[in-house]
Amino acid sequence: MRTLPGAGPAGPRRYERGWSDRALRKRLERARRSDWDFTRGRIFGSLCTEPAPAGRAWIDPFRNANLGNPGLCPGSSLLQEELVEELLTLYHAPREGAGGWLVSGATEANVTALWTFRNLTGGREVVLPRSAHFSFVKALDLLGLEARWVRVDAAGRMDVRQARRAIGRRTAALVGLAGSTELGAVDPLEELSELALRTGVPLHVDAAIGGFFLPFLPEEERRRLPFDFSLPGVRSLASDPHKLGRAPIPSGVLLFRNLEETRAIEVPSPYLSDPRSRGLLGTRPSFAVASTFAALRSAGWEGLREQTRRLRGLVERLLEGGKRLGLEPVTDPRLNVVAFRHPDPRVLQAELLERGWDVSLVQEPRALRLVLMPHARRSTVEGLLRELARALARHPRGRGGEEGRINPEKPPDRGSARRSGRGSSGRRSAAG
């Protein structure tokens, strides 16, 4: 068993007697000190961030409320309904019939969406881009579905023509991304929506990254990057408040244009206050709902617009600084993810990590991946650029040739983004 330094040998006798408060505190404090801390602003490899203070404050009061048994927790259930209503409005869902519920994150949301559409359509194949998050690989395996992988273009966007050819009688769902994990690329979702309508195939949008960024862009830019239920072919959407919504982990949301479609995954739950259950999880703490509600309401959409404006400024500074160092970006960033080409980015990553800076990698093409999250500051971006300059001086990048280009036919490697890691309106929430 792996232990922290000084943790002592593991074994059953260590747990025979209860530990004192002092021993527990000492052990747990040591573990926490070994974890990275967002407050220093040096984490540029994660899509999570320091939660908003308003969200953190409501974790403990709701820790024992079980959202899986809504009859015992009507207050928590009402909070979920209000939150779902707010997000349905943000994502331009129809006023009647739309609904959803909170989940642990986009992995659960993506698995549940494909589960729903598999049962609804009877299809056994999913058409999705090679840039799709590794949670879809898990979903395919769990649900016994087959992938029809679709190439991406030089900007990391799904090829619609190949997607059209991949759709057939056995297709259960079509997947599009509002922000790919590695490059932050936004697929041509308007075209995918039209394709979904023509073929009758459900379109699921994974907006785990872009869900709390794209709605807060200036209006002209928003119109150029439609991604939500404003597109009539979109049947479901996943978004992660625990990313740019600054809600504490875990917090995701899964929304459907027509909540009735989720009856396809409904099972009896006769001993609970709600006799029918939908979704993967049963018992789950209500603090995720309460803290997400608090984080989003305390910021308001105005606050998230300002956050987006600030992050875009940091993206521009990082791009400018990288170019001065001779680094070429893989794409023109649409979101808060910047990737710089380098023939051996792992060497740069290792050196930055040793000096206390967390960054991540893209394997195809070979690139250093940097994520600008709310904990990033101008001072830490400048610090990162200085450290990057030192690392590049020791490891010149060279030209890289083909290494800096996306191979559209290469099979996806889902491990590459990290280190070798409603009410009166007719809308409803489902307790799961």
Whichever domain contains 141, its CATH number is 3.40.640.10
**How large is the C-alpha radius of gyration of the chain?**
22
Question: How many helices and strands (H and E) does the chain possess?
Answer: 11, 13
Distance between CA atoms of residues 164 and 162, nearest Å: 5
Is residue 231 domain-shared with residue 148, that is, in the same domain? yes
What confidence score (pLDDT) does residue 409 get?
53
Place of tokens 């943790």: 7
Taking alpha carbons only, the member of 303, 175, 171, 277 closest to residue 235 is: 175
Distance between CA atoms of residues 71 and 68, nearest Å: 9
Domain contains 74:
yes
Neighbours of 294 (CB within 10 A): 24
Is residue 323 domain-shared with residue 259, that is, in the same domain? no
pLDDT in tens, the chain (432 residues): 455 554 555 555 677 889 999 999 999 999 999 999 899 999 999 999 999 999 999 999 998 888 888 888 899 999 999 999 999 999 999 999 999 999 999 999 999 999 999 999 999 999 999 999 999 999 999 999 999 999 999 999 999 999 999 999 999 999 999 999 999 999 999 999 999 999 999 999 999 999 999 999 999 999 999 999 999 999 999 999 999 999 999 999 999 999 999 999 998 777 666 667 778 888 888 999 999 999 999 999 999 999 999 999 999 999 999 999 999 999 999 999 999 999 999 999 999 999 999 999 998 889 999 999 999 999 999 999 999 999 999 887 543 334 444 555 555 554 433 333 334 445 555 544
Taking alpha carbons only, the member of 418, 412, 363, 339 closest to residue 128 is: 412
Taking alpha carbons only, the member of 322, 315, 318, 319 closest to residue 389 is: 322
Is residue 257 domain-shared with residue 331, that is, in the same domain? no
DSSP letter, residue 25: H
Domain contains 411:
no
CATH number of the domain at 343, please: 3.90.1150.10
Neighbours of 282 (CB within 10 A): 15
Distance between CA atoms of residues 285 and 181, nearest Å: 27
The verdict on whether omega for the bond into residue 423 sits within 30 degrees of 0, i.e. cis, is: yes
What's the one-letter identity of residue 121? Answer: T
Is residue 67 domain-shared with residue 182, that is, in the same domain? yes
* Helix, strand, or coil (residue 103): strand
What confidence score (pLDDT) does residue 418 get?
38
Domain contains 18:
no
Is residue 138 domain-shared with residue 254, that is, in the same domain? yes
Distance between CA atoms of residues 120 and 172, nearest Å: 8
Q: Are 233 and 197 contacting, i.e. CB atoms less than 8 angstroms apart? A: yes
Characterize 358-378 residue by residue with b for buried, 16 or more Cβ atoms within 10 angstroms of its Cβ, and e for exposed.
bbbbbbbbbbbbbbbbbbbee
Distance between CA atoms of residues 393 and 215, nearest Å: 40
What confidence score (pLDDT) does residue 402 get?
42
Distance between CA atoms of residues 48 and 428, nearest Å: 28
Distance between CA atoms of residues 338 and 160, nearest Å: 24
In the β-sheet with 337-341, what is the strand arrangement from edge to edge?
A: 337-341, 367-371, 360-362
Domain contains 49:
no
Is residue 321 domain-shared with residue 174, that is, in the same domain? no
Domain contains 23:
no
3-state helix, strand, coil in the chain (%, to 5): 40, 15, 45
Domain, as residue range, for 358: 301-404
Is residue 100 domain-shared with residue 241, that is, in the same domain? yes
Place of tokens 């617009």: 305
Is residue 306 domain-shared with residue 291, that is, in the same domain? no
Is residue 330 domain-shared with residue 261, that is, in the same domain? no
Domain contains 119:
yes
The verdict on whether omega for the bond into residue 188 sits within 30 degrees of 0, i.e. cis, is: no
Q: Tell me the two tokens of residue 107.
A: 């992995």
What confidence score (pLDDT) does residue 412 get?
57
Our count of domains for the chain comes to 2
What confidence score (pLDDT) does residue 301 get?
97
